[in-house]
Amino acid sequence: MAKHKHRWTLKLFLAVLIFCSCKPSPPNKENDQPNIVLILADDLGWSDLGSYGGEILTPNLDQLAANGIRYTQFNNTSKCFPSRASLLTGLYAHQVGFAKTHTNPIKNAITLGELLKSAGYRTLWSGKHHGIENPLSRGFDRYFGLVDGASNHFNPGLQREGEPAPAQKKPDRTWYVDSTLHRPYTPKKGFYTTDAFTDQALDWIDGYKDGASPFFLYLAYTAPHDPLMAWPQDIAKYRGKYKGGYEAIRKERIRKQMEIGLLNDSSVISNPTFEAWNSLSQEEQEKEDLRMAVYAAMIDRMDQNIGRVMQKLKELEKLDNTLIIFMSDNGSSSEVVKIGGNGEIGTVGHWESLGKNWANVSNTPFKFYKNYSYQGGIGTPLIVSWPKGIEQTNTINSSVGHFIDVLPTLMDVAGASYPKEYNGKHVVPFEGVSFSPTFSGMTIKRDKPLYWKWSDGKALRKEDWKIVSEGTDAPWELYNLVNDPNETKNLAHENQKVVKQLDSLYRIWQSTHDNY
């Protein structure tokens, strides 16, 4: 019996030995670290996506939401370039020189490119910057895109043969193709910004598919920022869809948001600020229908291109271990640029803006728009998908967040280390909080308040309370965002003690951050 037991033990030992010798070697960095795709829309409203209540066709983003997490209380800065600076650095725009202008180099900080490059990532950026530096000088291996602000989507450069003059603010917008500067950038016919940014990103992903390093792709679209321009076949999907008017579309979005679970039956919705549809002439209604149809087409085309990225990752068997983050740099815009042109809305020769009526619908259920510190200006849809890293899919998370949180989150998932110095210069510690615990179903509780200051608007949020003011001498308004996320009931008069406490915190923040 002992002899048989000894043989059995020997066999078990040999089996374990053979099994161990056949086990794969420890995972390399590519297997440990996810690929990261950070997608930023430009002037997208909170309710424009299907997964946030919109009627616009966004099946690819909706799929990412179904396979991931949607966030209801994430915030930007209400303006393009401060948001992009915060996103890149994990700091408030005031700390990096972007409080009032984008015409400075980023200071006091490292960028996502520099951080992730130090962790072994190949760093790729296609799209808009809204700064002055070539991203190749700030940690990115490859760059293609618009360094400046808005440009013509079909032709950001000089007039091409057989076409109208391109409608544009400036004909000499700065573009880079890696280290090559183009001012102006006049592409061949058939160019469209959203397609071109994606084409370049796909070329990079394909070109580096056999490399050992994981990649970080920052895909910064200029859609649906004006000028409203889209391909005719995309516009045709939506022509006539908006003839019911502002109120009808807004009501349907609210109904869908309640159905999804973004709102509940007790939600109080902000009062609309758009004009009465029946006060418009037939001609004006036709123009408004076309205006919104082109805007919708731009979002539709962006979603199509995001689908192309997803398909490429799937083909390369990289989708499961790719963290995809989608958000918008501010709320939908009420700004109206009066350039016009000699073509129809939607074409290369005509600059048209969305305007405040449709922007109010776009930001449903919030009030106001881009440039405001109310939720209509600072609220962003946020979708996160990571098949290998998110435990429970198709969930809605109410964690309060800000663009400054993206850097510490990516630092966590990449296993990167934040330096005290970079290239011999002091680096300010990041201000954000990692939201990676939400990938396991947790809700983040913040210890420090969040702050906003853009133009004449300012705000502070601490736990459930938010103070907000619009106008140089305007008093603070106070809202409880848990009970009233749409800022419909100003509680400042009956809660003066709370207002004073939050005002004191804001003054301290402003005095310290104005000194950077």
pLDDT score, position 496 = 97
Mean pLDDT in residue range 102-121: 96
Q: How confident is the model at residue 515 (pLDDT cuts 50, 70, 90)?
A: low
- The per-residue pLDDT of the chain, averaged, comes to 93
pLDDT score, position 14 = 37
Which distant-in-sequence residues (6+ apart) come within 8 Å of 258 by Cβ? 264, 265, 267
pLDDT score, position 31 = 52
Could you read off the pLDDT of 9-29 as tens digits, one per residue? 434 333 333 333 333 333 334
pLDDT score, position 7 = 45
Q: How confident is the model at residue 516 (pLDDT cuts 50, 70, 90)?
A: low
**pLDDT at residue 54 above 60?**
yes
pLDDT score, position 342 = 79
pLDDT score, position 21 = 34
Cα radius of gyration (the chain): 24
**pLDDT at residue 434 above 50?**
yes
User: Could you tell me the domains of the chain?
Assistant: 31-445 (3.40.720.10), 456-516 (3.30.1120.10)
The better pLDDT of the pair 340, 448 is held by 448
Which residues form the catalytic set? 80, 130
Q: What does each C-alpha distance from 81 to 130, 148, 151, 288, 315 come to in angstroms?
A: 6, 10, 15, 28, 34
Could you read off the pLDDT of 161-190 as tens digits, one per residue? 999 999 998 888 999 999 999 999 999 999
The better pLDDT of the pair 1, 337 is held by 337
Query: Which 8-state DSSP code applies to residue 336?
Result: -
Of the listed ranges 26-35, 246-255, 379-388, 442-451, the one predicted with least confidence? 26-35
* 191/155 Cα distance (integer angstroms): 7
Q: Tell me what percent of the residues of the chain surpass a pLDDT of 70.
A: 94
**pLDDT at residue 441 above 60?**
yes
Which distant-in-sequence residues (6+ apart) come within 8 Å of 444 by Cβ? 399, 400, 401, 433, 435, 437, 438
Residue count of the chain, please give it: 516
Q: How confident is the model at residue 158 (pLDDT cuts 50, 70, 90)?
A: very high
* 274/246 Cα distance (integer angstroms): 7
